[in-house]
A and B are shown apart, each in its own frame.
Chain A
Amino acid sequence: RKEVEQDPGPFNVPEGATVAFNCTYSNSASQSFFWYRQDCRKEPKLLMSVYSSGNEDGRFTAQLNRASQYISLLIRDSKLSDSATYLCVVLDNYGQNFVFGPGTRLSVLP
């Protein structure tokens, strides 16, 4: 089993749609969780950290369920500019190793 697994995608949604991405991780001792965004042929960039209580940043909401080892990202009112690959990232319990999921590609269509 991979350490971090994500919805395989791709997700093709119309502008204005709400879309949710799911991620599961296998190391129960993992300590920190993140969503990164990667545009085509570009480097990954931090989208948001995921707090235990859940957190929101504008149209983006991240949730963490430690018991189920599950992380989610919800994008509301999606824009064309949201088209990218979304990477679920888990920092291991030593705080040293970022483990990346394979990513879920999102295409927002006009």
Chain B
Amino acid sequence: NAGVTQTPKFQVLKTGQSMTLQCAQDMNHNSMYWYRQDPGMGLRLIYYSASEGTTDKGEVPNGYNVSRLNKREFSLRLESAAPSQTSVYFCASIRTGGISTEAFFGQGTRLTVV
């Protein structure tokens, strides 16, 4: 039972390079999210997708783009990486249902931009 699969686990980029973080879930959830986590800041929402075919900006969308390729997959793209994007990125798939709502996270991508 894979749950949420996120790749790659680690990445080092040079300033200005681009890359795509991949995320796939096998739980048939409609909602998927991308967060970044920085020390002392908690998780901050970059973008989310409430359903296939829709995406919306979160708290910190600048410098990122997303694609909800199908119900399973939600990718995050950095077009021109900057050192400020050094962070740990988490993809989450959401089971919605009021108090039963639960976020299931991938293992994270540790990205360093030099």
Q: Give B96-114 as 1s and 0s: 1 = Cβ < 8 Å from A's Cβ atoms.
A: 1011111101111000000
Asked whether B13 is an interface residue with its Cβ less than 8 Å from the other chain, the reply is no
Q: Which residues of A contact B61 (CB under 8 A)?
A: none
Q: Give B30-42 as 1s and 0s: 1 = Cβ < 8 Å from A's Cβ atoms.
A: 0101010000111
Asked whether A71 is an interface residue with its Cβ less than 8 Å from the other chain, the reply is no
Q: Which residues of B contact A101 (CB under 8 A)?
A: 42
Partner of B103, one of A4, A51, A98: A98
Asked whether B60 is an interface residue with its Cβ less than 8 Å from the other chain, the reply is no
Which range contains the number of B residues in contact with the other chain? 20 to 34
Residue of B nearest to A44 (CB): B105
Partner of B48, one of A31, A36, A49, A97: A97
Measured CB to CB, the residues of A under 8 A from B are 4, 31-32, 34, 36, 41-46, 49, 51, 87, 89, 91, 95-103
Complex contact B45–A95 (CB within 8 A): no
Measured CB to CB, the residues of B under 8 A from A are 31, 33, 35, 40-45, 48, 50, 58, 90, 92, 94, 96, 98-103, 105-108
Total A-B contacts with CB atoms under 8 angstroms apart: 54
CA distance A12 to B92 in the complex (A): 30
Instruction: Assess A46 versus B102: contact at CB under 8 Å? Given A4-B42, A97-B58, A101-B42.
Output: yes
Q: Which residues of A contact B41 (CB under 8 A)?
A: 102
Partner of A44, one of B50, B94, B103: B103
Q: Which residues of B contact A49 (CB under 8 A)?
A: 99-100
A40 to chain B: closest CB distance in Å? 12
Complex contact B96–A95 (CB within 8 A): yes
Instruction: Assess A96 versus B107: contact at CB under 8 Å? Given A4-B42, A31-B98.
Output: no
